Amino acid sequence: MEVLSYAFRKMAGILKNRKNIFLTFFAVLTIVSFIKIPLAIAQSQSQSDSLDSSSHHKESDNAVASDKETKPDKINFQRIIPLSSPLYREIDRLYLLAGKSRPSLSRPWSADEAKKIMEALPESMLDSVSEVSADVIKREIEFGSEKTGTKKASLKISPEINIEGYYKVNDDRKEWAHGYEERQPLFSVPFESWFFTSLYMDLEIELRQEYQVVNSTDNYTNIIPNPYDLDWHFPFRAFMSVGGEHWNIQAGRDKASWGAGITSNMLISDYSDYYNLIKFTTYWERFKFTTIYMGLDPWLTDQEEEYKNDIGFGGYAGFDELFKAFLAHRVEFKIRDNLSLAISEAIIFGDKYINITELNPVFIFHSHFTPQYSNVIASIEADYTPFSGFNIYLQFVMDEFQIPGEDEDSRPGAMGLLGGFTFVKQALDGYLSFNLEAAFTDPFLYNRWHPNGRITNRRRMWSYVSDSHEYINKPIGYRYGPDAVVMYGAAQYEKSDKYIVAIDAKYTLLGEMNDSLDYAGTYWEGVNNVATSEYLGKNANKLSAPSGTVERDLVLGLHGKLKLTKRISFASDIYYIHINNYGNISGNTINDFEFIASAKFKF
């Protein structure tokens, strides 16, 4: 390790002027990303003519359903298509333009499910613009399946290098709008393998910076000069998938997301770095059932251990086993072609090892009646497309509620609501889209008397930067946590498989209980140094978001992405950030700019 450290320190010497290098790098890529896009638009008519002249050579490839040369049951379609794939954006767009509600919003999908979803679209709707989208979708569905089949095995290795540069004006604010979740690993190597017609496995090795490095004031690039800056807790994707027609089981480590939210989703979001999960799903034309089990880190922080020993968490005695898990199920219905509904329920088990009978995937979890070691939450969603290109979506989640006549000193109500609309239309040779979204979360949402009863995904990692354990604690549901109000708007133009240019704005109100999921004590007491008498008993249920001294964040973003060739792409992002009452401290004002530039190389 000392030899490696010495070698990397020598490299660091070469990069000592990396701030100036980044500024040059950013300027060049910004020029490429934002100047080449209008040039590409100017050439769009000639490219469209070229597409029209060659379209008759591709008629048999326009949709996955048109592939008649190989029987579907002879090809392995059990690959799990990652949430980052453009397939989801392209399919959603085609469905809205066809006047349909979005297809299943419990994602990611297997290639078999994506194939069936694509087959449900009428081929007659495809034109020169949507044909490009269909080609992108087909490419993602059929990726790696070419040499699969009965008594066959196939391996595909797809290395990827991402070089990114970052610059932030104000070091008084350690957080980034373009933070850990938005940043790409420097180096990623997926090892994907297909066996027979039913088994798929994926292992992705990647090199990325750890959290402490991302939030440091001198972090200007994702190039890693020191091995101690690495997040050694990879892989973030490693699983096996087995399935057949209309069903799939996935077991391992991957992301998951339930819902159409842009800023996040209320019950299960992709905000966590990964979930250790086992998921079963069966999907049909108008019905889908999904159940998912997640094993969660039960480790307590040093502060929580100290609190437990000195004061105690309260709540219920006799449950102190180091265990935490999340179990959920979901039913989706296609009521009409343009209207979908989904009902979901989930339960957190904490501080007690579960009985195997509690893993019943079709049970009503609330009927366990085990508040001593569990926390139940439920949601209902609707997705409606009243006319072509215009879509409305809603999510409502309920963690706790007080019924009429219930003792006011009982647990306070805890609910969340998210809603928005999307409008998309074809323009020139691409798609113009607009989004508006708003979300609200109660101050006590996702919370519980014990840290292991909270609806959070904690990742304990060893940091070589701080030389200690770090605890990355994130809501399994809405990214911005409890006690928050979020408003978001965006406009975007995209030419499929070529470029994207977008502008967005987000205004966030964060109350004083927004960080309560990280609090060492119990939510019965109130948190964040707020007078406990205000938040206990009868007053607790009267508390509304955003509470106390409210932090008000405005983030404006300008984004561009250009796919130069099949294997090379560039991107640039610029953010303006204005914060009032930063850290919930009255009068504490922050202004900041962020500049990000990146280049991606696929092999």
pLDDT tens for 570-593 read: 999 999 999 999 999 999 999 999
pLDDT at site 245: 92
pLDDT band at 340 (very low <50, low <70, confident <90, very high): very high
Structure tokens that stand for 411 in this block: 């647990």
As a whole number of angstroms, the distance between CA 104 and CA 88 comes to: 10
Rounded to 5°, the CA angle 501-505-508 comes to 150
Task: Evaluate if residue 541 carries a pLDDT over 80.
Answer: no
CB under 8 Å to 16, separation ≥6 — which residues?
Answer: none
Q: Measured between alpha carbons, how far is residue 569 from residues 29, 340, 376, 559, 599 in Å?
A: 10, 36, 44, 14, 6
Structure tokens that stand for 86 in this block: 């453009």
pLDDT band at 148 (very low <50, low <70, confident <90, very high): very high
As a whole number of angstroms, the distance between CA 226 and CA 216 comes to: 14
Task: Evaluate if residue 49 carries a pLDDT over 60.
Answer: no
The SS3 of residue 518 is helix
Beta strands 456-463 and 468-475, pairing class: antiparallel
pLDDT band at 314 (very low <50, low <70, confident <90, very high): low
Mean pLDDT score of the chain, rounded to an integer? 86
Query: Virtual CA dihedral for 136, 141, 143, 149, nearest 10 degrees?
Result: -150
In this prediction, residues 459-479 reach a mean pLDDT of 93
CA nearest 185: which of 297, 275, 273? 273
8 A C-beta contact, residue 473 and residue 518 = yes
8 A C-beta contact, residue 550 and residue 584 = yes
As a whole number of angstroms, the distance between CA 147 and CA 74 comes to: 10
CB under 8 Å to 72, separation ≥6 — which residues?
Answer: 115, 245
Phi, psi of 208 (to 5 degrees): -145, 160
List pLDDT tens digits, range 480-530: 999 999 999 999 999 999 999 999 999 999 999 898 898 876 565 543 334
Rounded to 5°, the CA angle 195-120-115 comes to 15
The SS3 of residue 478 is coil
Higher pLDDT, 102 or 368: 102
pLDDT at site 578: 98
Phi, psi of 483 (to 5 degrees): 55, 50
pLDDT at site 196: 94
8 A C-beta contact, residue 547 and residue 483 = yes
Task: Evaluate if residue 62 carries a pLDDT over 70.
Answer: no
pLDDT at site 539: 61
pLDDT at site 204: 97
Q: Which residue reads 């502008």 in tokens?
A: 503
Structure tokens that stand for 7 in this block: 């070698």
In this prediction, residues 354-366 reach a mean pLDDT of 91
Q: Measured between alpha carbons, how far is residue 382 from residues 83, 102, 259, 339 in Å?
A: 21, 10, 9, 7
Task: Evaluate if residue 50 carries a pLDDT over 50.
Answer: no
Which long-range CB contacts under 8 A does 126-131 form with residues at least 24 apart? Answer: 126/62, 126/63, 128/48, 128/51, 128/52, 128/55, 128/429, 129/426, 129/429, 129/430, 129/431, 129/496, 130/94, 130/97, 130/426, 131/51, 131/55, 131/58, 131/62
In this prediction, residues 16-40 reach a mean pLDDT of 44
pLDDT at site 561: 97
Identify the helix (H) or strand (E) that includes residue 4. helix 2-14
pTM: 0.86
List pLDDT tens digits, range 179-220: 999 999 999 999 999 999 999 999 999 999 998 898 887 889
Q: Which fold, 2-30+62-602?
A: Porin (2.40.160)
Q: Which residue reads 């004083």 in tokens?
A: 512
Structure tokens that stand for 415 in this block: 């609910």
CB under 8 Å to 298, separation ≥6 — which residues?
Answer: 322, 323, 324, 350, 452, 458
- Provide the angle, in degrees to the nearest 10, between the axes of the packed helices 18-42 and 44-54: 60
pLDDT at site 220: 92
Least confident of 78-87, 296-305, 310-319, 473-482: 310-319
Q: Measured between alpha carbons, how far is residue 329 from residues 254, 293, 379, 383, 393 in Å?
A: 17, 9, 11, 19, 20
Higher pLDDT, 71 or 136: 136
- Say which DSSP state 44 is in: H
CB under 8 Å to 218, separation ≥6 — which residues?
Answer: 19
As a whole number of angstroms, the distance between CA 172 and CA 186 comes to: 27
pLDDT at site 402: 76
Q: Measured between alpha carbons, how far is residue 18 from residues 21, 175, 214, 316 in Å?
A: 5, 20, 15, 54
pLDDT at site 315: 60
Higher pLDDT, 29 or 484: 484
pLDDT at site 372: 85
CA 287 to chain centre: 24
Q: Euclidean distance between the first and final Cα of the chain, in Å?
A: 29
How many Cα neighbours within 13 Å face the side chain of 439?
30
List pLDDT tens digits, range 68-93: 444 445 899 999 999 999 999 999 99
The SS3 of residue 147 is coil
Phi, psi of 164 (to 5 degrees): -125, 150
pLDDT at site 586: 95
Task: Evaluate if residue 45 carries a pLDDT over 70.
Answer: no
Phi, psi of 282 (to 5 degrees): -130, 135
In this prediction, residues 262-281 reach a mean pLDDT of 97
As a whole number of angstroms, the distance between CA 583 and CA 175 comes to: 11
CA nearest 377: which of 350, 400, 408? 400
Identify the helix (H) or strand (E) that includes residue 7. helix 2-14
List pLDDT tens digits, range 427-465: 999 999 999 999 999 999 999 888 999 999 999 999 988
In this prediction, residues 402-427 reach a mean pLDDT of 85
